[in-house]
Structure 1
Amino acid sequence: MVAHPDREHLIYCLGCNIIIKSLLTNKQDILYGHTNNVSCVTVSKSGRYLASGQVTFMGFKADVIIWDFSKKGIHARVQLHKAKVEALAFSPGEKYLLTLGGQDDNNVVVWNVETKEAICGSPASAIRSGQCLTVQFCNNTDDVFVSAGNGTVRVWELDLANRKIRASECQSGQLKRIVKCVEISQDDTYFYCGTTSGDILKFNLKTRLLNSVGPVKQKFIKGVNAMKELITGDLLVGSGDGIITLCSKSNFKTLKRVQLEGGVTSVTLRGEGQQFFVGTEASQMYRFNYVDFKEEVIATSHSSAVVDAAFPHGSSELFATCSGSDIRVWHTELSKEMLRISVPNMTCNAISFTTDGTSIISAWNDGKIRGFTPETGKLKLMVNNAHSMGVTAIAITKDSSRIVSGGGEGQVRVWKILTDSHTLLEIMKEHTASVNCIKIKSNDKECVTASSDGACIIWDLVRFVRNQMVLANTLFKTVCYHPDEYQIITSGTDRKIAYWEVYDGSAIRMLEGALSGAINGMHITLDGKHFVTGGGDKLVKLWGYDNGDMTHVGIGHSGCITSVKICSNNKYIISTSSDGGVLRWRYPQPAH
C-alpha cells in the first residue's frame, strides 16, 4: 500500500487488480491489466506514474506495468523477469524504473520510463544463495540505488554512457542478516536496513560501512517488515507481530508504539508525514496522526477466500459474508464492517439469515451448525455433530422453525429449532458426495439440493422422501427455484446453466454459461425476470430468464467468484471471490 503524493489517494493491490481509493470521497478506481496476483506496487515522486509487478507460473515471464496515473491507463508493459517481480523503485527524477526479479530470477534491471526500454541489468547478488528482496533509489540522484536481501547489501551506480550498473558490497563484518526493507535518509548520507531477526542496520552510503545496529535490548519480534523515515529523522517501524513503533534516529530506542491486528506489511506517509497509513496481513488499513499516534481503522476486509454472502430477507441495508474462521456483517451503502464473529481454527462454509432477521445461521467444517445474533454476534444456537464430514450447505424455512443442512458425506438433514433446544427430524440419504447448495420452496413443503455427485434432488419436506431427481455429467455447485416454483435452474463445473421442470425433472433448456471455470454462484431476482451468475471466469453476468440472453457483464474480480447475491429491492449485487474480495455492484436499472 502506498500513498499518492497528491495526498488524496491510497493505492493498494487486491489480487490481480490495483485499487486507487480517494481518501476524501472513498471512491475507488480499479486498474486492470495483470494476469496474476500483484506482488509489488510503487509510485513516482511527483505521482505521475505508478508501477506494479506480478507473480506468474514457473518458466513464464512476469509482467511489470507502468501506469499513467492521470489517465488511469497503461503507459508501458515490460517483461524480463522470470516467475515473480520482487520489488520496484522509481528514480527521484522519474527517468528510470528499477525492477527486481524473485528467487528464480534474482536480476536487477533499469528501465527508461520514457522510451519503455531496458537500459541495463545485472545479477542482484554475487552469491547464488543470496537472494535479493528489496531495492531503493536515492532521494536526490537518479544514478545511485541500494539493493539488499539474504546476506547481501549493495550500493549500485548507474553508468549510462556504457549502459552498465556497477555494484559495491557494503561491509557489515561478522554480522549476517536477511534484509526485508531499506529506507534511505532524505539527504542520502545513510540508509537503514530492516531485518528478519528484528534489528535495524545503519550504513553510511558514501563509505559503504556499517555505522550502527539497534535496538540493543528490545528487538522487533517477527522481524522488521516496513520502515519510513520522518522529517525529524526518526523512523517508523512496522514489525511482523503487528506493532508500529516510532524509533529515535540515534539509537533506535522506542519513543511510541501501538499494537495492530496482523503483522505490518506496509507503512506509507501522507505528504510530509503528519499523517501516515499502515497496512497489515489481516487486511486492515489504519490511519495515524503523528501528534497523537493513535490508530484509526479506515478499511477492513477478509484476509482469505470469501466463501458465501447473504442478505437479510426484505432488506438491502446490511449483508453478511463468511471467510475462514469469521463471519462479518457489513453496511451495504458505506461498505463498512459493522460486526465480526470469530470461531478460531474453524472454517465457515455457508451462511443464511432467518426470515425474521433474528439469527445468522452458519455451516462449519467441524460438523456444527451455529446460530448468532446479527446485532451482537452472540452464540444462540449450536447443533453439535450435525454432519460427520463438515456442514457444507444450509437453508432455513420461511417460518424459521426448521433448518435443512447438507454435509460433506452427502446426507441431507432436517432440524426442528425450538427456543432453547433443537431436534433432528429426519435424515435423507441419496447423495453420494458433498451437498453444495440447498433452496427451500416458499411454502416450506419442498426443497432442492445440489451435489457434487452430479444429482439435484427435489425433496418432500412433509413425508421426507425424494420427489424428483435430475442428473447431469457435472458437479452441481448451485441451484435456484424460479419464484413461480415450477422450474429450477442449476449450474456447476460443466459451465452450463440448465433449466429443469420441477414436476417431472425434465430438461427444458441448456445455456452456455461461461467459457472457462465452474459456475459457483447464482441468484434470481424476486420477480423472476433476471438471474445473476459468477464463477471461475471472474465475471459477474446478468441474464434474462425467459429468453436466456446475457444482458450485462461485470469485470472487477481478480479471483474465482464463489457466490453472488441480489438484494430484495434489486438495488445491489454482492459478489465474493477466492482472493478475499467482496464487490458491490449497482444493479442495472432498465431504461424507461
Structure 2
Amino acid sequence: MGNEQEVSRLELEAVIGFNGHVYSGLRVHPDREHLIYPLGCTVILKSLKNNKQTFLHGHTNNVSCVSISKSGNFIASGQVTFMGFKADAIIWDFAKKEMHARLHLHKAKVEALAFSPNDKYLVTLGGQDDGSVVVWNIETGEAICGSPASAHSAGHCLTVRYSNLNDNVFVSAGNGTIRVWELDLPNRKIRPTECQTRQLKRIVKCIEIPEDDSYFYCGTTSGDILKVNFSTRLLNGCGPVKHKFSQGVNAMKMLRTGDLLVGSGDGMLTMCSGTNFKIIKSVQLEGSVTSVALRGEGHQFFVGTEAAQIYRFGYTDFKPELFSTNHNSAVKGVAFPFGSSELFATCSADDIRVWHADTSREVLRISVPNMSCNALDFMRDGRSIVSAWNDGKIRIFTPETGRLMLVVHNAHSMGVMAIACTRDCQRIVSGGGEGQIRVWEILKGSYRLVETMKEHKASVNCIKIKSNDKECVSASSDGACIIWDLVRYVRNQMVLANSLFRSVCYHPEEYQIITSGTDRKIGYWEVYDGSAIRELEGSLSGAINGMHITQGGDHFVTGGDEKLVKVWHYSDGVVTHVGIGHSGNITSVQICPNNKHVISTSADGAVLRWRFPHPST
C-alpha cells in the first residue's frame, strides 16, 4: 500500500441504520437527550436535539445487548462471536465517549447485561453455549464471582435485571427458570432462589421491575405476563387471561402511573394495567416490537421494531411518530441523480428508498412485495428510477411519487443483476444472472429489445456506459470484463483475470478502466486493446465489491468484505484515507456528484455517509 504511515482516517458523518433484532437494544440516556442503540459492531449515540451521531467502536462482532447505568455515567454493551471464542462485554464512559473496561469471560455470546442501581456492579449473562452469570466490579473492571445461570442445562437463561434499590440483588429468567440472586460480597458468591410459579411453565424474554421493588413482571413467549412478589419470590398473578399478546411479549416498561407498556411479536404496542393486565390502549406498528424505552418519566417514549423502525410516542396522545427508518436487510446498491448531491437512492432485498443526503431522512419508499431489487440507476433527466429485480423484470418508477411507469417483462431468465442508462435517456443496458447483456429502447409507455449479446458464462455484476453512449463495459463472475460496441453490438475487447469481477469503472478520460473482484486486486486496463497496465493489492481479506471514481479522475473509492472504505490516488495507486465503521461486508460505494461525501452500503442494512477528503479537483 506504499506510504503506509501517511494513510489518514476517513471521517464518518452519519449512519442510517438500526439493528431492531437486538432485544431492548434501543435505550434513552437518563440525560433525556440521547438515544443509544446498536448497529453491527458499533454502538450509536444520537442526540435528540440536533440528530448528531457519536460512535463507540471497540467490538469485533455484532453487538447483542446494551444497557445504561441509572446515573447515566456508564453504558455497557455485549457482543456475539464465533463458537469456541470469547465474547466481550465493554463498559463505556459516557462523558468521555471512550472505553472504560473490556470484560473478557463469556463464550460465544453475551445474552444480556444490567447495572446495579448505584453504579457499583454490572451483571452479565452468557448465551446458550456459555450459560453463566457473572458479577463485575465496575470501577476495577474485574469479575467478582460467577455461577451457572440456571439449575438445569435445558433451562437456558435469556434476560437479567437489577433491583432498583439494592446493589446486591438481581433477577434472571429464561426457559423454565426465574431466579432472584443475592450477592454475598465478603465470600465472593452469588446465591440464587428459584421463584415458585406453581404449574406454569414459561419461557421468559423480558423482565420489568417497578421503582419500589415490590414486584417484578416477566414477559413470556406464550403472550402472558407473570407478576412475582420480589420479597416472597412467589407468583402473585398472571395475565391477560383471555386476549394474550400475540407472538409473545418482547419488551416491557413500567410507567409511574402503574401501567405497563408492552411490545409484542405481532407489532402491537399496548398500554395495560399493572394490576389486572386490562388493556387500556394499543397501536399497530411495522415489524415485531423489540424495544420500549422511556424518556425521563415516560411522558415521551421510543419504540424499536424488527423492521428497523424507531417510533416516538407521547404519553397523552399515544400516537406513533416515525422517528427514524432504516433498511432491515442487505443493501445492494446506491445511486445519485445526475448532477445532484441532495438526494440518493438505495436498493435492498425489500425495497428501494430515496434519502435526503444531509438529514438522512427517508423521502420515498418503493416496495414490490416478495421481490428483491439487485441494482438501480437514475435516468440522466432525473425523471425516472430504473431498477433490476430478481424476478427477471426491469421496473421504472417516478422518483417523486414512486409510481410504476413501465415494466420490462422477462428481461433476463435468472434475474436482472446489473443495469445502466444511456445519457440520451433512450436506452437501458441490462445484465442477467445467466450472463446475457441486453439493450432496450425505452419508448413512451413501452419498450423494445434492441439486441442480446451472449458471451459471459456467469452472472453480470456491473455495467458502465461510455459518455458518448457508443460503448459499454460489463464485469462478470466468469472472470471476464467485456468492452462492447453499442453501435454494432459486438465485443471490442475482453480482459481476463482469475477473479469473479464485481465492479468496473471508466476513468473519466475513458482510455482506461479499473476493475475489482474476489481476487482482492484492483486492475488498471487499456480500453483500446484490453492490455493490463498495473495491478494493486486492494484488500487484505475478502472481495472488493464496489468502486467509484471522481469526475476529475484523480481519486477513487473501494469497499468490500474487508469492511473498510478506502480512498485511493488514481495515478499513484496509494491509499490516502481509510474509513472504519461498517460491521457488515460493504456492497457498494458512491462519491456524490459535488465531491463532498461518499455513501457506502453494507450487507447488514447500513448506509454510511463519509466526508470525502479530496474536494473537487
Taking the aligned partners of 1:373 and 1:232, their CA distance within structure 2 comes to: 48
Taking the aligned partners of 1:116 and 1:409, their CA distance within structure 2 comes to: 56
Contact residue 408 and residue 447 of structure 2 kept, 8 A: yes
Q: Secondary structure at the match of 2:598?
A: strand
Q: Rate the CA distance shift 1:190–1:43 in 2: closer, same or farther, 3 A.
A: same
2:456 matched residue in structure 1: 431
Within the candidate set 434, 437, 451, 1:409 is matched to 434
- Cα deviation per residue 1:467-512 (whole Å; 9 max; x = unaligned)? 0000011111000001111110001111111110000001111111
1:58 matched residue in structure 2: 83
Taking the aligned partners of 1:277 and 1:176, their CA distance within structure 2 comes to: 31
Taking the aligned partners of 2:545 and 2:243, their CA distance within structure 1 comes to: 49
2:13 matched residue in structure 1: none
2:559 matched residue in structure 1: 534
2:144 matched residue in structure 1: 119
Taking the aligned partners of 2:207 and 2:350, their CA distance within structure 1 comes to: 35
- Cα deviation per residue 1:425-481 (whole Å; 9 max; x = unaligned)? 111111111000000001111000000111000000111100000001111100000
2:128 matched residue in structure 1: 103
2:185 matched residue in structure 1: 160
Give, in angstroms, the shift of residue 37 of structure 1: 0.5
1:277 matched residue in structure 2: 302
1:445 matched residue in structure 2: 470
Within the candidate set 470, 477, 480, 1:455 is matched to 480
1:474 matched residue in structure 2: 499
2:114 matched residue in structure 1: 89
Q: Secondary structure at the match of 1:36?
A: coil
2:18 matched residue in structure 1: none
Please state if 1:522 is matched with 2:547. Answer: yes
Please state if 1:392 is matched with 2:405. Answer: no
Taking the aligned partners of 1:404 and 1:411, their CA distance within structure 2 comes to: 10
1:40 matched residue in structure 2: 65
Q: Secondary structure at the match of 2:166?
A: coil
1:3 matched residue in structure 2: 28
Q: 2:357 is aligned with what amino acid?
A: T
Q: Secondary structure at the match of 1:177?
A: coil
1:550 matched residue in structure 2: 575
Larger RCO (alpha carbons 8 Å, 6+ apart): 2
The CA RMSD over aligned residues, in Å, is 1.0
Following TM superposition, the consecutive aligned residue runs of length 4 or more in structure 1 with deviations greater than 6 angstroms are none
Contact residue 594 and residue 616 of structure 2 kept, 8 A: no
Taking the aligned partners of 1:573 and 1:185, their CA distance within structure 2 comes to: 46
Q: Secondary structure at the match of 2:515?
A: strand
Within the candidate set 227, 236, 245, 2:261 is matched to 236
Q: Rate the CA distance shift 1:333–1:468 in 2: closer, same or farther, 3 A.
A: same
Contact residue 595 and residue 616 of structure 2 kept, 8 A: no
Q: 1:69 is aligned with what amino acid?
A: F
Q: 1:326 is aligned with what amino acid?
A: D
Please state if 1:375 is matched with 2:382. Answer: no
Taking the aligned partners of 2:130 and 2:600, their CA distance within structure 1 comes to: 36
For these two proteins, the number of residue pairs brought into alignment is 592
Taking the aligned partners of 2:357 and 2:257, their CA distance within structure 1 comes to: 42
Give, in angstroms, the shift of residue 589 of structure 1: 4.0
Taking the aligned partners of 2:154 and 2:502, their CA distance within structure 1 comes to: 46
Q: Secondary structure at the match of 1:208?
A: coil
Please state if 1:503 is matched with 2:528. Answer: yes
Q: 2:94 is aligned with what amino acid?
A: F
Taking the aligned partners of 1:324 and 1:283, their CA distance within structure 2 comes to: 14
Taking the aligned partners of 1:475 and 1:352, their CA distance within structure 2 comes to: 22
TM-score normalized by structure 1? 0.99
- Cα deviation per residue 1:254-295 (whole Å; 9 max; x = unaligned)? 111111111111011111111111000000011111111111
Q: 1:171 is aligned with what amino acid?
A: Q
Taking the aligned partners of 1:58 and 1:549, their CA distance within structure 2 comes to: 37
Contact residue 596 and residue 615 of structure 2 kept, 8 A: no
Structure 1 residue runs of 5 or longer lacking an equivalent are none
- Cα deviation per residue 1:151-195 (whole Å; 9 max; x = unaligned)? 111111111111111111111111111100000111111000000
2:4 matched residue in structure 1: none
Within the candidate set 56, 78, 83, 2:103 is matched to 78
Q: 1:217 is aligned with what amino acid?
A: K
Within the candidate set 215, 219, 222, 1:197 is matched to 222
2:607 matched residue in structure 1: 582
2:16 matched residue in structure 1: none
Please state if 1:566 is matched with 2:591. Answer: yes
Give, in angstroms, the shift of residue 537 of structure 1: 1.2
Please state if 1:210 is matched with 2:235. Answer: yes
- Cα deviation per residue 1:364-413 (whole Å; 9 max; x = unaligned)? 11111111111111111111111111111001111111111111111111
1:306 matched residue in structure 2: 331
Please state if 1:265 is matched with 2:290. Answer: yes
Q: Rate the CA distance shift 1:342–1:591 in 2: closer, same or farther, 3 A.
A: closer
- Cα deviation per residue 1:73-99 (whole Å; 9 max; x = unaligned)? 111111111111100000001110000
Taking the aligned partners of 1:565 and 1:524, their CA distance within structure 2 comes to: 8
Q: 2:162 is aligned with what amino acid?
A: F
1:359 matched residue in structure 2: 384
Taking the aligned partners of 1:524 and 1:442, their CA distance within structure 2 comes to: 14
Taking the aligned partners of 1:109 and 1:591, their CA distance within structure 2 comes to: 54
Q: 2:391 is aligned with what amino acid?
A: D
Taking the aligned partners of 1:24 and 1:252, their CA distance within structure 2 comes to: 35
Taking the aligned partners of 1:17 and 1:186, their CA distance within structure 2 comes to: 31
Taking the aligned partners of 1:305 and 1:435, their CA distance within structure 2 comes to: 19
Please state if 1:175 is matched with 2:200. Answer: yes
Taking the aligned partners of 2:53 and 2:615, their CA distance within structure 1 comes to: 25
2:211 matched residue in structure 1: 186
Q: Secondary structure at the match of 2:431?
A: strand
Give, in angstroms, the shift of residue 344 of structure 1: 1.3
2:3 matched residue in structure 1: none
Q: 2:118 is aligned with what amino acid?
A: G
Give, in angstroms, the shift of residue 591 of structure 1: 11
Give, in angstroms, the shift of residue 132 of structure 1: 0.4
Taking the aligned partners of 1:394 and 1:188, their CA distance within structure 2 comes to: 60
Taking the aligned partners of 1:268 and 1:361, their CA distance within structure 2 comes to: 40
Give, in angstroms, the shift of residue 543 of structure 1: 1.1
Structure 2 residue runs of 5 or longer lacking an equivalent are 1-25
The range that moved more, 543-552 or 517-526, is 543-552
Give, in angstroms, the shift of residue 590 of structure 1: 5.2
